[in-house]
Structure 1
Amino acid sequence: MTSTFTTTDGAQIFYKDWGTGQPVVFSHGWPLNADAWDEQARLVADNGFRAVAHDRRGHGRSSQTWDGNTMDRYADDLAELIEELDLHDAVLIGHSAGGGEVVRYLGRHGSSRVAKAVLLGAVPPVMIKSDTNPEGTPIEVFDAIRSGVDKDRSQFYWDLSETFYGFNRPDATTSEGARRAFWRLSMQAGIRAAYECITQFSETDFTEDLKRIDVPVLVAHGDDDQIVPLHDSAVKSAELIKNSTLRLYPDAPHGLYGEFRTAFEADLLAFLKH
Structure 2
Amino acid sequence: MGYLEVEGTRRIYFEHYEGSGRPVVLIHGWGVTASCWDNVVPALLANGNEVVTFDHRTCGRSDKDFDDVSIEAIGSDVAELCAHLSLDRPVLNGWSLGGAVAVDAASRLGSQISGLVLTGGASPRYTAAPDWPHGGGVADVEGVLAGVESDRATTFKAVSSAVCAVPVSPEVVDWMWAMFMAMGPRGGDTLRSLADVDQRKTLATIEVPVLLLHGRQDAFVPFSGAEAAVGLWPDARLVEFEQSGHAPFVEERDKYLSELVGFLNR
TM-score normalized with structure 2 length: 0.95
Q: State the SS of the aligned residue for 2:118.
A: strand
Measure the CA separation in 2 of the matches of 1:135 and 1:75: 23
- Alignment match, 2:9: 10
- Alignment match, 1:38: 38
Q: Percent identity?
A: 26
- Alignment match, 1:169: none
- Alignment match, 2:230: 238
Could you tell me which amino acid in structure 2 is paired with residue 214 of structure 1?
A: E
| 1:178 is aligned to 2:172 | yes
Q: State the SS of the aligned residue for 2:13.
A: strand
The answer to whether the Cα contact below 8 Å between 2:57 and 2:66 also exists between their aligned partners in 1 is no
| 1:249 is aligned to 2:241 | yes
Q: For residue 257 of structure 1, report the CA deviation from its aligned partner.
A: 5.6
Deviations 1:2-42 (A, max 9, x none): 11111153321111111312211100001111111122122
The answer to whether the Cα contact below 8 Å between 1:94 and 1:122 also exists between their aligned partners in 2 is yes
Q: For residue 163 of structure 1, report the CA deviation from its aligned partner.
A: 1.2
Could you tell me which amino acid in structure 1 is paired with residue 77 of structure 2?
A: D
CA change 1:217–1:8 in 2 (3 A) is same
Measure the CA separation in 2 of the matches of 1:144 and 1:72: 23
- Alignment match, 2:85: 85
- Alignment match, 1:99: 99
Q: For residue 55 of structure 1, report the CA deviation from its aligned partner.
A: 0.4
Could you tell me which amino acid in structure 2 is paired with residue 23 of structure 1?
A: P
RMSD: 1.5
Deviations 1:84-116 (A, max 9, x none): 101112011000011100001122x13232011
The answer to whether the Cα contact below 8 Å between 1:106 and 1:209 also exists between their aligned partners in 2 is no
Q: For residue 222 of structure 1, report the CA deviation from its aligned partner.
A: 0.4
Unaligned runs of 5+ in 2: none
- Equivalenced residues, count: 265
The answer to whether the Cα contact below 8 Å between 2:25 and 2:93 also exists between their aligned partners in 1 is yes
The answer to whether the Cα contact below 8 Å between 1:25 and 1:53 also exists between their aligned partners in 2 is yes
Q: State the SS of the aligned residue for 1:240.
A: coil
Deviations 1:115-143 (A, max 9, x none): 11110100011121232323431223212
The answer to whether the Cα contact below 8 Å between 1:220 and 1:247 also exists between their aligned partners in 2 is yes
Q: State the SS of the aligned residue for 1:92.
A: strand
The answer to whether the Cα contact below 8 Å between 2:27 and 2:99 also exists between their aligned partners in 1 is yes
Measure the CA separation in 2 of the matches of 1:257 and 1:215: 23
The answer to whether the Cα contact below 8 Å between 1:18 and 1:41 also exists between their aligned partners in 2 is no
- Alignment match, 1:60: 60
| 1:191 is aligned to 2:192 | no
Q: For residue 66 of structure 1, report the CA deviation from its aligned partner.
A: 3.6
| 1:29 is aligned to 2:22 | no
| 1:153 is aligned to 2:152 | yes
Q: State the SS of the aligned residue for 1:24.
A: strand
| 1:272 is aligned to 2:242 | no
- Alignment match, 2:133: 134
Measure the CA separation in 2 of the matches of 1:134 and 1:173: 29
Measure the CA separation in 1 of the matches of 2:113 and 2:89: 5
